Structure 1
Amino acid sequence: MPLWRTWHNWHRPLVLFSATMVALTAVSAAGLALDDRVLVGARIWSKPFKFSVSFIAYSLSLAWMLSLMDRGRRAGWWAGTVVAATGAVEMLIITGQVIRGKRSHFNHQTPFDEALFNAMAVTVVVLWLATLVIALLLLRARIADRASAWTMRCGVALALAGAAVGFLMTQPAPGQVRGESPVVGAHSVGVPDGGPAMPLTGWSTTGGDLRIPHFFGMHALQLLPLLLMASAALAPRCARLADGRVRLRLVLVASGAYAALFALLTWQALRGQPLHRPDGVTLTAAALIACATAAATYWALRLPRAPGTQPPGGPTALPHKEVETAA
Structure 2
Amino acid sequence: MTTTDTTVDLAVDPDLQQMMDDVMARFSGPGVRPDPDAVWGTLTEVGLARLTTPEDAGGSGAGWAEAAGLLRTAAAAGVAVPFAETDLLAGPLRRAAGLDDFSGATATVAVLNASGTAHQVAWADATASVVCVRRVGDRYEVADIPTDRLTVTPGEGVSAVPTGSVTVPRDADWTPIDATAVEALVLRGSLVRAVQCVGAMEGMLASAIAHTTARTQFGRALARFQSVQNLVVDLAAETVLARAAVDAALADALTDDLAGELSGFRVAVARSVVSQALAVAVRNVHQAHGAIGTTHEHTLHRVTLPALQWRSEFGSAAFWEGFLGRTAVAGGMAGAWPMVVEGTRVDGAAAAWLEAVTGA
The structure whose RCO (Cα within 8 Å, separation 6+) is larger is: 2
TM-score normalized with structure 2 length: 0.31
Larger Rg: 1
TM-score normalized with structure 1 length: 0.34
The structure carrying a bigger helix percent of its residues is 1
